[in-house]
Structure 1
Amino acid sequence: MTKLHFSVPIITPPLLGLLLITLPLLVISQNLDAELSILLQVKQQLGNPPSIQSWNSSSSPCDWPEITCTDNTITEISLYGKSITHKIPARICDLKNLMVLDVSNNYIPGEFPDILNCSKLEYLLLLQNNFVGPIPANIDRLSRLRYLDLTANNFSGDIPAVIGQLRELFYLSLVQNEFNGTWPKEIGNLANLQHLAMAYNDKFLPSALPKEFGALKKLTYLWMTDANLVGEIPESFNNLSSLELLDLANNKLNGTIPGGMLMLKNLTYLYLFNNRLSGHIPSLIEALSLKEIDLSDNYMTGPIPAGFGKLQNLTGLNLFWNQLSGEIPANASLIPTLETFKIFSNQLSGVLPPAFGLHSELRLFEVSENKLSGELPQHLCARGALLGVVASNNNLSGEVPKSLGNCTSLLSIQLSNNNLSGEVPKSLGNCTSLRSIQLSNNRFSGEIPSGIWTSSDMVSVMLDGNSFSGTLPSKLARNLSRVDISNNKFSGPIPAGISSLLNLLLFKASNNLFSGEIPVELTSLPSISTLSLDGNQLSGQLPLDIISWKSLFALNLSTNYLSGPIPKAIGSLPSLVFLDLSENQFSGEIPHEFSHFVPNTFNLSSNNLSGEIPPAFEKWEYENNFLNNPNLCANIQILKSCYSKASNSSKLSTNYLVMIISFTLTASLVIVLLIFSMVQKYRRRDQRNNVETWKMTSFHKLNFTESNILSRLAQNSLIGSGGSGKVYRTAINHSGEVVAVKWILTNRKLGQNLEKQFVAEVQILGMIRHANIVKLLCCISSESSNLLVYEYMENQSLDRWLHGKKRAVSSMDSGSDVVLDWPMRLQIAIGAARGLCYMHHDCSPPIIHRDVKSSNILLDSEFNAKIADFGLAKMLAKQVEDPETMSVVAGTFGYIAPEYAYTRKANKKIDVYSFGVVLLELATGREANRGNEHMNLAQWAWQHFGEGKFIVEALDEEIMEECYMEEMSNVFKLGLMCTSKVPSDRPSMREVLLILDRCGPQQGHAT
């Protein structure tokens, strides 16, 4: 047998070294190839999105921008903002060394991704997607997890208690989801937790703050705004020694603030506003790092602690809307960093510390609605940063500080309802940024100077209720749009220089001592909308040439000594709906041109008018409009008959006799027919044994009955109509008080739907009491009709003011070119937001309007906004198992949230979307359905923003001025936020209101 011989190779040391190097590289290469294959499969399962086209087999994954490698193995994947629309595949967990997965800001659907096998995962970012369903009950399998962010999704159900077993977590954010369980106390076991954010989860069951959270010694950030928290703040929170930010705002917390809360050495930001906290503010204050404190909108009592004066880093102190009493500590004015000081709407007394503004760059100083006395601090603008002074409704005395005249940053002064006196500083004309002055109801004396009409940048002046002396500043007028000096003792003539106010929208000088003639220059104001000069001593004739007043909406010249004829041109003013010329000495005939416009509200009584009234006014509803004109007559018996004098002196003419005989015969025939009709109607009803009666249900104390309403409805007082009925403007008594009546007729085909709308309005409006929601006075119902009686809104709808010139709403709107300025638009936006915020957050159960639009935002005589038309509103049931859904899509095209068309689910976010469209209308001046010819306004605005164009290019050029650009841009951006396609990305109405309130200086503080 032949032996087989095997030769064994001799491995030399150099060859051994080469093998030791090559083999690991070979293994690494094989691992990376395997991971490449996994990623290519993941890409395919994600639908091959164009945003990751760089993922291909010809390059190393470590070179792809979305991939991070460590030691040639994939450890991090970032798909932030890649427009992913498919579910995350479980295959991704085959990357055994994956530590970071970021898929935020996409459109990923479905439940929590199947990634629990990613055993080394430390960072998981799923925020801003479309995830639904619960957090997995076994999420603790991700035992190495350190960072978990699920913000802005639609996760629901309970937060699993096992989340407290993720012991490595230092960051946990569950903000803005649909959770509807309770807060797990097991989170208190996360000893390494530094950042805990669970805000905007208002569907959570009312839950107390777990006292176990007080064990989180490393916690620096706790954010639980709008989380349906109830009960007291646990005393254990005094142990959060590392805490820097505590935000528990917009909840229903009660009880007192724990005594040790302001002893936390590292606390920098404390936000507890809009809760139900009571008792005294802790007086021991050692949190010397505090920069911002907001305890507003609670029930806090007692004094402001003097300890606040020790906070040398404090920039903002907000204590407004409480019940604080006592004096303001003097050392609060010495804080060197103080910028915002808001303590309005309390019961504070004593004097204002005089050092305010001397030691810091004070920006906002708001102390209105208290019991403060003494003088205003003299150096509020010493550092040149002051934006607003709001000190109305106090007992302040003395003069307006002369130092304010050198404050070029100043935007707003509100000092009404005090005991201030003396002159308005002449130097106030140097405040070229000033927008608003309110000095009403003080004790100023003197007369108004002519210099006010030659200024440069002033936007609004409100001086009503004073009696000024001296001269007002001379640099306050080029952009002046609103002047209100009503209820003073101003005297002398109305200055002719008023003609320089080319942008003047509103001029009110009611109840003063103005004398002389109305200057012809007043008629040259092209933008004037409201002109009120009633209650003065004006005399002479009205200027005849007033054709420039094409935008005039309201004209009140009553209670003066004006004489001569009424100008014919008044009857040709296209926008005029309110006219009061009563209690003057006008003579001659009423111009026949009046027949062509018939304003909604007018009064010509108590003059010396003569002749016949125009035929258009020969109706019973105008019976009070012509009283006390002895020589005025009518052809029907609403006034003295035009035949009465002739009958005393001579026989009736043959023509008159023929007319009377004809009228008598016609009337007789009509009476016979009416009697016959009534008999037949009675017989039919008698056969059915069902006699129709009217039932009146009132919600307020009323000074009228159902007969006052029913007897005064008239077709020519129609002011609006729609799918749910017609609306009439109705005078209810001889004093001229007016209401709006919506008349809904029962119809066999539509009756059921309309009846539902009627019941909805009655149920909702009948129980609401809010300044920014239209008031339902009563309802009147019968078998065939339903009437809703509302307060009358003089300025009608926002839609008319924004878009009336672009379409013919009615005859009075045609050709109108009225434009609301930006301060008015912002005021309207804030008012409407307050109404919706009340509905969403303060009503129980909450109310969804479902048809928010500019035509359902009504404006009163002062342009205060009120939400109207609740025929489509639904009250939210508090039952999680049975969500409110609708069988048909309700609302108005252009305002409907995109998800509502297919989900039919009624929630607050559909109102937020619709309100966002209104904000875009206000900022751009465009109509909701007319972004351009191809898309609606919301789509157009998002495209404009997405293309990187300047926001200023989208704003309404008719009102845009440099001083408003930032505010208008902010409202435009807020409109974009509200109209986000993803409902969870939209803010709540409470957030919307807070943002709007901060767009500019506070313009009053109505709740």
Structure 2
Amino acid sequence: MPRPTSSPPHVHFFFPFRISCLVFLSFLSHVAESQIQDQELQVLLQLRQSWRDPSSLAHWVASNSSSHCAWPEITCQGGSITEVKLDNLNINYSIPSFICGLKNLTKLDVSYNNIPGEFPRALYNCSKLVYLDLSQNYFEGPIPSDIDRMADLQVLILAANSFSFDVPASIARLQRLRILHLYQSEYNGTYPEEIFGLPDLEELRLEYNDKFLPSQLPQNFTALKKLRFFSMARTNLFGGIPETVGDMEALEHLNLAMNLLIGEIPSSIFALRNLSELYMYSTNVSGSIPRAVRAANLSVIDLSDNNLTGTIPEYFGKLQNLSRLYLEFNQLSGQIPEGIGRLPTLSDVLLSNNNLWGTIPPDFGKFSALRRLVVAFNNLTGTLPEQLCHGSVLFALVAMDNDLSGELPESLGNCTTLSYVMLKNNGFTGNVPGELWMLTSLRTLILSGNGLTGELPEELSPNLSWIKLSNNRFSGKIPSTVSSWRKLMLFDASNNLLNSTVPTELTELPSLKTLLLGQNKLSGNLPTAIVSWKSLATLNLSHNQFTGPIPTDFGFLPVLAQLDLSENQLSGSIPPEIGLLKLVSLNLSSNRLSGRVPHKLENTSFEASFLNNPSLCASYSFMRLNVCNSQSSRLPRNPALILILAISMAMFVSLAAVFTIRASIKKRNGFDLTWKLTAFQRLNFTRSNILSELKDENVIGSGASGKVYRIMVNPSGDAVAVKRISNNQKLDENLEKQFSAEVEMLGNVRHVNIIKLSCCISCENYKLLVYEYMENRSLDHWLHKTKRLSLILGVANNMILDWPKRLQIARGAARGLCYMHHDCLPPIIHRDVKSNNILLDSEFNAKIADFGLARMLAHQGEAVTLTGIAGSAGYLAPEYAHATKVNEKIDVYSFGVVLLELTTGKEAMGEDEDMCLVDWAWRHILDGKAIFDAIDEEINNDSFLAEISNVFMLGIFCTTKRPSKRPPMKEVVQVLLKCSDPLYDIEQTSQHNLDVAPLLANPRHEEMPQSAYRLLRCNTY
């Protein structure tokens, strides 16, 4: 009998029950999921509220139309939040504990914000967290010793904060860690060697912690078999690199830069099968590069800036993946291995500043797209390879100061990407390839010190700004088409065979700053129509055959500082207008000039400037010229009588002045006349000269401590500035401190860029500080006050401070601060650096003034304890708000603000008190706007754009919020001195995308990689 097909009775009973259970469970799951979502939404809304509703989270609002899982910062799985990514949102408040109400949170990223405080231990309650990124914030204090409570962490990124003390050993107990980033913080202790025992570690970054105690690489670090990325640059490592580094099978990136490593680089390091980058430009490595290298996967070798000796290993020529070879600034010798030139991926070769000899391998550029070849300052011989630009990407060719010879390769004329050619001081001969002059990308051409011949071209690249052709054998005329060289800033063709006249067209170049045509065969009259030379600072036409007079127009060149017309056949008198120039050097010797030397040029600075002009005379014998006789007969001839008359007159004037002053002051002020004068300089005035002129009509300014007077101290027009500190019962103690501070510091400081305190005069009720008088007042007056006045009155502002003067002011003020920080014993911090305290003399030389807030430092770099915040709004460094101790880096910050003022023309604290200049400048950069758009319209000139941009970026670096990342003033001075160097642009252009972009992408402007900082050091060749 067949079995029935119907289900048994119990099946019929349970089937609908099972369906009901599933529906019910689904309902319960939906309800639970909905509850979780509601709870998580409330956590997010509460989080936004606790952070004061930042605009970046304005879209965090409850909505019936969409879930919070759709918000870009949130990632959900199964309807529950698993990841929260809140990087770069300008968050300024701490992480609240209720964030762990997100029960399924596995990843939290709050990097690149402004979050303050200590490590957020409340995150211990986020039990499922495996990824934590707190980098680029303001966390401080120690990493907690119980951080191992976060046992499931696989990624821990704490970089670029202010964590200090030791890296705790408890980190090594996070056994599941794959990525650990602790770079660029303030650790001032040690790191645990146990870290190198973490079995799953793939990335370990400890670099740029230069306060770590000196240590050697632990022997066990090579046991990290999974480690791909290992960086300990600038961590005070010393000793050698263990041979066992070759046991690290997975290693791809090794960075031990800027340490104190010694010994040879072990051959095993090149046996790493997957190593792709090797950076080891440590500061004191010694020994030679080993020959026993075996691997072929290396991509980048950077051994620059060491004391390496020996030869470049031949095996480098077998590294088929090698793209960058950086061995510059060592003591390497021998030849460049020919195999290197045949590598298929080679792009950058930097071998300068060594002792290399032999030829440049002829295959360079033939088999790879070579981008940079820098072999300057060696002993190389032979010719330049013909196919350097075969890959059509060659950007820079720098081979100066070698013994190279032969003709320049014709192929260079077809290299459309070439921007910098620097071949000076070699033995090149023949003509320059015609097309090379006209390459539109060419910006700098330096061919000085060779044996090159031919004539200057009729056409020239419109973008060329530097041409140096001195000490060659160029001949013929300077072409009239030179008027098209509109961007030319420097033209040096001295010591050649150029002839004929200086074409009028040469005077039509508005950007020209330096013109050197000495030691040629130029003739005719000097050019007269020179109204376009508004930027010309240096003019040398010496050792030629010029005739006729010196044009009067030369005296109206606005920025001319160096003038050399010596060794010509110039005649006539010296135009008095030449005396109007603010000259640093002048040479008119060995001509046929006649007449009287202009009065304003009769000083010891130009004593040798007029020699070998037989018909020239001067009023004083110290000029080593004939004394002009026109006034001599009017003078008394008896020396004794002259002396008696002078003494009698001086006594009469002094006595009269004393009685007059005593009566006047006693009548007017009624204070005690017991005055004490303390002189710090040799004085050309008396106490009476000062006291008699303390009148309201002589007041030129006033401040919290009293009035400032301009006082003429003698009939010749010499003036001083007198700061009077008056008695005030409420401020008496503070004023006394300010007075003592200025007298103590300025009385002993001697520097051309620090205001000179001549003397102090004091009595019971008054204190007077007598300074040198600064004719052009303060930088603030020129940058802001005259501009505001012109806006109020609706008239044009003729008091424009051009860029050359602004750069001059920046350099001068920087030198003054550098002297205070690095050369004074003890060092001095100013504490109130601002444009109002940078004074300008008649030649716009800058001097640091107003030391009432300054403090001595016991030792350079050591912090000084403050009893209260001092300084000026807009210039105050961030640490002022919370630190009880500051160091000289507060002056660096304030000076950075001044640099931003100089470049943008804006005030440190404008009308909007919520947005100071520093914040505005950083926001301008972070918004991706061009620096060009931030520059003051009064100086926005293509001729100086590169310089202005460099100084603007220096201001950015100086105003970094973390004090330790600001450059010292020594570095600032070097940058300002070299920021016009064209090699700056090589570094900037070649590394911009790699190094500067991450810096600018950082809203806290905290991470400043050493490679990016090196851009501002303007390496020169």
Give the TM-score category using the shorter length. 0.7 to 0.9
Aligned to 2:470: 464
Question: What is the CA–CA distance in structure 2 between the aligned matches of 1:168 and 1:95, rounded to whole Å?
Answer: 22
Question: What is the CA–CA distance in structure 1 between the aligned matches of 2:305 and 2:838, rounded to whole Å?
Answer: 26
Q: 1:279 aligns with which of 276, 287, 297?
A: 287
Aligned to 2:112: 105
Letter in 2 for 1:941: A
Change beyond 3 A, Cα 1:637–1:643: closer
Shift in Å at residue 629 of structure 1? 3.5
Q: 2:515 aligns with which of 513, 519, 531?
A: 531
Letter in 1 for 2:905: E
Letter in 2 for 1:186: E
Q: 1:939 aligns with which of 919, 928, 931?
A: 919
Contact 1:119 1:141 in 2 (8 A): no
Aligned to 1:728: none
Question: What is the CA–CA distance in structure 1 between the aligned matches of 2:442 and 2:537, rounded to whole Å?
Answer: 26
For structure 1, which runs of at least 5 residues remain unmatched after alignment? 1-9, 469-489, 647-654, 680-687, 696-721, 724-741, 766-773, 789-796, 859-864
Change beyond 3 A, Cα 1:943–1:597: same
Aligned to 2:85: 78
Q: 1:341 aligns with which of 349, 366, 370?
A: 349
Change beyond 3 A, Cα 1:554–1:744: farther
Question: What is the CA–CA distance in structure 2 between the aligned matches of 1:611 and 1:357, rounded to whole Å?
Answer: 63
Deviation per residue, 1:219-264 (Å, 9 max, x gap)? 1011222223333323343321111111121223233322311111
Change beyond 3 A, Cα 1:408–1:618: closer
Secondary structure of the corresponding residue to residue 437 of structure 1 = strand
Is 2:229 aligned against 1:221?
A: yes
Shift in Å at residue 182 of structure 1? 0.5
Question: What is the CA–CA distance in structure 1 between the aligned matches of 2:786 and 2:524, rounded to whole Å?
Answer: 34
Aligned to 2:988: 999
Change beyond 3 A, Cα 1:324–1:515: same
Change beyond 3 A, Cα 1:218–1:524: closer
Aligned to 2:494: 510
Q: 2:60 aligns with which of 39, 54, 60?
A: 54
Shift in Å at residue 272 of structure 1? 0.8
Shift in Å at residue 173 of structure 1? 0.9
Aligned to 1:736: none
Is 2:477 aligned against 1:501?
A: no
Secondary structure of the corresponding residue to residue 132 of structure 2 = strand
Change beyond 3 A, Cα 1:611–1:60: closer
Change beyond 3 A, Cα 1:846–1:132: farther
Aligned to 1:194: 202
Question: What is the CA–CA distance in structure 2 between the aligned matches of 1:206 and 1:365, rounded to whole Å?
Answer: 36
Shift in Å at residue 830 of structure 1? 13
Alignment of 1:434-583 (within 5 A): 434-444=442-452, 446-449=453-456, 451-452=457-458, 455-468=461-474, 490=475, 492-583=476-567
Aligned to 1:403: 411
Secondary structure of the corresponding residue to residue 261 of structure 1 = helix
Aligned to 2:659: none
Between stretches 284-293 and 901-910, larger displacement belongs to 901-910
Change beyond 3 A, Cα 1:542–1:837: closer
Question: What is the CA–CA distance in structure 1 between the aligned matches of 2:59 and 2:933, rounded to whole Å?
Answer: 34
Secondary structure of the corresponding residue to residue 187 of structure 1 = helix
Shift in Å at residue 348 of structure 1? 0.9
Secondary structure of the corresponding residue to residue 115 of structure 1 = helix
Change beyond 3 A, Cα 1:30–1:799: same
Aligned to 2:741: 753
Question: What is the CA–CA distance in structure 2 between the aligned matches of 1:36 and 1:988, rounded to whole Å?
Answer: 53
Contact 2:397 2:420 in 1 (8 A): yes
Secondary structure of the corresponding residue to residue 162 of structure 1 = helix
Aligned to 2:904: 926
Change beyond 3 A, Cα 1:307–1:179: same
Aligned to 1:607: 591
Aligned to 1:669: 645
Secondary structure of the corresponding residue to residue 138 of structure 2 = coil
Alignment of 1:367-378 (within 5 A): 367-378=375-386
Q: 1:263 aligns with which of 271, 275, 280?
A: 271
Change beyond 3 A, Cα 1:966–1:666: closer
Contact 1:127 1:151 in 2 (8 A): yes
Question: What is the CA–CA distance in structure 1 between the aligned matches of 2:526 and 2:52, rounded to whole Å?
Answer: 76
Question: What is the CA–CA distance in structure 2 between the aligned matches of 1:814 and 1:28, rounded to whole Å?
Answer: 75
Contact 2:559 2:582 in 1 (8 A): no
Q: 2:174 aligns with which of 163, 166, 173?
A: 166
Deviation per residue, 1:155-181 (Å, 9 max, x gap)? 112111011111111011112221111
Shift in Å at residue 884 of structure 1? 4.5
Change beyond 3 A, Cα 1:105–1:22: farther
Secondary structure of the corresponding residue to residue 233 of structure 1 = coil
Question: What is the CA–CA distance in structure 2 between the aligned matches of 1:434 and 1:856, rounded to whole Å?
Answer: 42
Shift in Å at residue 265 of structure 1? 0.6
Secondary structure of the corresponding residue to residue 461 of structure 1 = strand
Alignment of 1:111-150 (within 5 A): 111-113=118-120, 114-150=122-158
Letter in 1 for 2:539: L
Change beyond 3 A, Cα 1:968–1:283: farther
Aligned to 1:246: 254
Change beyond 3 A, Cα 1:968–1:53: same
Question: What is the CA–CA distance in structure 2 between the aligned matches of 1:662 and 1:691, rounded to whole Å?
Answer: 37
Contact 2:908 2:918 in 1 (8 A): no
Question: What is the CA–CA distance in structure 2 between the aligned matches of 1:127 and 1:300, rounded to whole Å?
Answer: 36
Question: What is the CA–CA distance in structure 1 between the aligned matches of 2:811 and 2:416, rounded to whole Å?
Answer: 26
Letter in 2 for 1:137: S
Contact 1:502 1:526 in 2 (8 A): yes
Letter in 2 for 1:76: E
Contact 1:177 1:984 in 2 (8 A): no
Sequence identity of aligned pairs in percent? 45
Question: What is the CA–CA distance in structure 1 between the aligned matches of 2:594 and 2:102, rounded to whole Å?
Answer: 97
Change beyond 3 A, Cα 1:644–1:755: closer
Question: What is the CA–CA distance in structure 1 between the aligned matches of 2:230 and 2:813, rounded to whole Å?
Answer: 31
Question: What is the CA–CA distance in structure 1 between the aligned matches of 2:629 and 2:15, rounded to whole Å?
Answer: 140
Between stretches 847-856 and 285-294, larger displacement belongs to 847-856
Deviation per residue, 1:700-740 (Å, 9 max, x gap)? xxxxxxxxxxxxxxxxxxxxxx99xxxxxxxxxxxxxxxxx
For structure 2, which runs of at least 5 residues remain unmatched after alignment? 1-11, 656-674, 683-701, 704-719, 726-735, 762-767, 772-777, 790-796, 840-844, 976-982, 991-1014
Question: What is the CA–CA distance in structure 1 between the aligned matches of 2:860 and 2:575, rounded to whole Å?
Answer: 61
Alignment of 1:819-834 (within 5 A): none
Between stretches 961-970 and 361-370, larger displacement belongs to 961-970
Change beyond 3 A, Cα 1:343–1:801: farther
Is 2:391 aligned against 1:383?
A: yes
Question: What is the CA–CA distance in structure 1 between the aligned matches of 2:654 and 2:519, rounded to whole Å?
Answer: 50
Change beyond 3 A, Cα 1:805–1:905: same
Question: What is the CA–CA distance in structure 2 between the aligned matches of 1:93 and 1:432, rounded to whole Å?
Answer: 60
Deviation per residue, 1:373-431 (Å, 9 max, x gap)? 11111111112111111111111121111211111111111111112222222232352
Aligned to 1:590: 574
- Tell me the matched-pair count: 885
Shift in Å at residue 281 of structure 1? 1.5
Question: What is the CA–CA distance in structure 1 between the aligned matches of 2:279 and 2:856, rounded to whole Å?
Answer: 33
Change beyond 3 A, Cα 1:452–1:753: farther
Secondary structure of the corresponding residue to residue 586 of structure 1 = strand
Aligned to 2:1004: none
Please, what TM-score do these two structures have when normalized by structure 2?
Answer: 0.72
Deviation per residue, 1:547-597 (Å, 9 max, x gap)? 443333233333444333322222333333333334433333333444544
Question: What is the CA–CA distance in structure 2 between the aligned matches of 1:829 and 1:220, rounded to whole Å?
Answer: 45
Aligned to 2:8: none
Question: What is the CA–CA distance in structure 1 between the aligned matches of 2:389 and 2:900, rounded to whole Å?
Answer: 35
Q: 2:99 aligns with which of 76, 80, 92?
A: 92
Letter in 2 for 1:669: L
Aligned to 1:768: none
Alignment of 1:297-316 (within 5 A): 297-316=305-324
Contact 1:504 1:525 in 2 (8 A): yes
